[in-house]
Amino acid sequence: MDRGRRHRPGRDRQERHARRDHALRAHGGAQPVPLGARPARVDLGARARALSRAEAGPGPARRRVAPPGRSRRRRVRGLRADGLRVQRVGRLAAHQPGHVVGAGAAPLGEHAPPDHDPGAAHDRAARAAPGARPREREGRRVSPQIRVTDLKKHFRVHERAPGLAASLRSLFSRTHRTVRAVDGVSFEIAAGERVGFLGPNGAGKTTTLKMLSGLLHPTEGEVAVDGHVPQRREAAFLEKIMLVMGQKQQLIWDLPPADTFDLNRAIYEVPRAQFEETVRELTELLDLGDLVRKPTRELSLGERMKCELVAALVHRPRVLFLDEPTIGLDVSTQVVVREFIREYNLRHDATLILTSHYMDDVAALCPRVIVIDKGQLSYDGGLEALVMQVRPEKRLRLRLHAAAAEEEVEALGQIIEREEREIVVQVAQEALAGAVSRALERLPVTDFTVTAAPLEEVMSELFARSREARERSE
C-alpha cells in the first residue's frame, strides 16, 4: 500500500497534470504543454484520449474518455482546454515601455507593499470582465494586468535514505519534508510591461510561472491574470497567454514546424487569413524562410527555438511567460531572439515576464526586474535603480598608448583589471569626474569609457546580500 498517498489531501489537480504529462510523454509528448515531440504520424484522437485519461485519473468513475462519435473539433477543444495556446483576443491599450506600476524600487530585502487591499483587489480582478483594460496611463496608477498576492507553493516531498534497507523501511514508514519553492510573493504588472523575473537556481521562478499559467495550483495566495484565475484554466484565459520553456519543446519532432503551426491553428481556431498573416509576420521577423518546412529533427537548437516561438505565438497571446527562451543559444541567435521578443511586445502591446540567467537578455528587454531568492521576493523595481542601489560605483576603462606609472593608476580608484595598455578602475559616482580629468591629465590615454558594474556582478551581490539577511533572521 502506498502509505504516502494517505497523507495527501486527495488527488488534486497538480497530480492530474503530472499524470497528463506522463501520458503525453508516453504518446510522444515531451513536456507539460500539449503538443510535444511525437512519432512521425500525428494521431490527434489518441493524443486527446491520452489527455482525457490522464486528467481523469485511474478511477473508473472519473474517466473522461472522448466517445468515438465525437467530432475532431470537439476533441481538439478538449485539448485546448488543457493547453496553453489558443487564439488571439483583441489588442491591448497603448503601452509605455518600461513603465513600472505598483512597484517602485523597493529596498533590498523587502518588497514595497501594494497600496491596496490585496484580497479585495484580487476579487475585483477576478470578477472584472476578461480583457478589462487599464483606465488611465498618464501619470496615474493603472489597474494591473497581472496581480500576485502572497503567493505560496509548498511541495511535500518524500525523503528516503540511500540503501536497500532504507528502501524497504520506506515502504512502511515514510518521512516527508516541505520544499517552500515559492513562499509569499506579491507583485503587480501592468499591460505591456516587460519584466525580468530573476533569481538563482532553485529560487522559484519556474514554479511561479507555472502558477501564473495555471499549470500548478498555489498552496496559498492569489493570482489574477487579465481578470482570470489561472488555475481554473478557462478557455478565455488560455487564449490570452503562452508559456515557452527553453528546455522543453512543443514542436512535433518528425514533422516540419509549419505542421505544428497549422495544428495550433486548428486547435485554437485561428481564422486562416489571420493565421497566415501571423506566420508570415513572425517568420519574416525571425528570418526563418524555408526552414519551417524542414523536419524539426533536422533543425539546429537556435532554429528550433525560433520555430518554438512562432508556434507559441500563432494565436497572438497578449501575455507571454518566457522561461529561459535563450538557453543554450549562441550569442548572435540570442540577440535575434531577444530582438524578436521586444518587437512582438511593441507591435502587439504584449505583457512579458522573462526569466533568464543571461543578463544581456535582461538588460536588453527588461526595464523592470523582480528578483526572488528561496521563494521570497528580494527586489522589485527598475533595473537601473537596482544597479544604483547595489553597485553605485562606475567602471572607468582606460586605453593607453604607453605604460603608466603604478602610483598614478592607483590614485584613480580601485583597480579591477590591469594590463600594460588597458586599465579598468572602479570609482565612486561622486569621484568620477575628478578621476576622468586626472586620468586625461596624467596618463597617456588614447580612449576611455565609463560603464556601470556588470549586471552579473550586481545580481550575485544581491543574491549574497539576501542570503546574509536570511541567515541573520534565522
Ligand X SMILES: Nc1ncnc2c1ncn2[C@@H]1O[C@H](COP(=O)(O)OP(=O)(O)OP(=O)(O)O)[C@@H](O)[C@H]1O
Residues that bind ligand X (CB under 6 A): 155, 157, 179, 181, 199, 201-207
In this structure, what are the phi and psi dihedrals at residue 390, rounded to the nearest 5 degrees? -85, -45
Choice between 87 and 376, CB closer to ligand X: 376
Closest separation in Å from C-beta 179 to ligand X: 4
Choice between 179 and 445, CB closer to ligand X: 179
Please list, in sequence order, all residues whose beta carbon lies within 8 angstroms of the beta carbon of residue 234, skipping any fewer than 6 positions away.
Answer: 228
Closest separation in Å from C-beta 192 to Mg ion: 24
Closest separation in Å from C-beta 324 to ligand X: 7
Choice between 206 and 351, CB closer to Mg ion: 206
Q: How many residues bind Mg ion (CB under 5 A)?
A: 2
Determine the Cα–Cα distance for residues 8 and 419; give it in Å rounded to an integer: 62
Determine the Cα–Cα distance for residues 210 and 33; give it in Å rounded to an integer: 11
Choice between 157 and 440, CB closer to ligand X: 157
Residue 365, helix vs strand vs coil: helix
Grid cell, residue 445, equals: 590615454
Segment interacting with Mg ion, rule: CB under 5 A, options 71-79, 100-108, 139-147, 206-214:
206-214
| E strands, 345-444, in order | 351-355, 368-373, 376-382, 394-400, 414-418, 422-427
Choice between 351 and 355, CB closer to Mg ion: 355
Instruction: Give which of Mg ion, ligand X, none residue 434 binds (C-beta under 5 to 8 Å, depending on kind).
Output: none
Residue 245, helix vs strand vs coil: strand
Segment interacting with Mg ion, rule: CB under 5 A, options 200-208, 235-243, 416-424, 455-463:
200-208
Choice between 202 and 328, CB closer to ligand X: 202
Closest separation in Å from C-beta 202 to ligand X: 4
Determine the Cα–Cα distance for residues 152 and 208; give it in Å rounded to an integer: 9
Q: Does position 208 bind Mg ion by CB under 5 A?
A: no
DSSP β-ladder status, 351-355 and 394-400 = unpaired
- Which secondary structure element, helix H or strand E, spans residue 16, and what is its range? helix 13-26
Closest separation in Å from C-beta 229 to Mg ion: 23
Closest separation in Å from C-beta 185 to ligand X: 11
Choice between 245 and 396, CB closer to ligand X: 245
Instruction: Give which of Mg ion, ligand X, none residue 203 binds (C-beta under 5 to 8 Å, depending on kind).
Output: ligand X
Segment interacting with Mg ion, rule: CB under 5 A, options 105-113, 147-155, 204-212, 446-454:
204-212
Q: Does position 206 bind Mg ion by CB under 5 A?
A: yes
Q: Does position 213 bind Mg ion by CB under 5 A?
A: no
Determine the Cα–Cα distance for residues 113 and 403; give it in Å rounded to an integer: 53
Closest separation in Å from C-beta 339 to Mg ion: 23
For the residues of 48-78, what is the DSSP string, one character each?
HHHHHHHHH-SSGGG--PPPTTS-HHHHHHH
Closest separation in Å from C-beta 332 to Mg ion: 24
Residue 295, helix vs strand vs coil: coil
| CA nearest to 152, candidates 110, 197, 185, 111 | 185
Determine the Cα–Cα distance for residues 215 and 300; give it in Å rounded to an integer: 29
Segment interacting with Mg ion, rule: CB under 5 A, options 45-53, 197-205, 249-257, 453-461:
197-205
Between the alpha carbon of residue 381 and those of residues 76, 99, 374, 386, 392, the distances in Å are 41, 10, 19, 7, 16
Q: Are 296 and 304 in contact (CB under 8 A)?
A: yes
Closest separation in Å from C-beta 18 to ligand X: 8
Choice between 121 and 242, CB closer to ligand X: 242
Instruction: Give which of Mg ion, ligand X, none residue 202 binds (C-beta under 5 to 8 Å, depending on kind).
Output: ligand X
Choice between 77 and 180, CB closer to ligand X: 180
Q: Does position 466 bind Mg ion by CB under 5 A?
A: no
Segment interacting with Mg ion, rule: CB under 5 A, options 9-17, 21-29, 151-159, 201-209:
201-209
Choice between 296 and 376, CB closer to Mg ion: 376
> DSSP letter at 115?
S
Between the alpha carbon of residue 327 and those of residues 245, 351, 454, the distances in Å are 9, 21, 20
Instruction: Give which of ligand X, Mg ion, none residue 87 binds (C-beta under 5 to 8 Å, depending on kind).
Output: none
Q: Does position 334 bind Mg ion by CB under 5 A?
A: no
DSSP β-ladder status, 319-323 and 241-245 = parallel
- Please report where in the chains the cell 596624467 appears, as a residue: 442
Closest separation in Å from C-beta 345 to Mg ion: 21
Determine the Cα–Cα distance for residues 207 and 205; give it in Å rounded to an integer: 5
Q: For binding to Mg ion (CB under 5 A), which residues are involved? A: 205-206
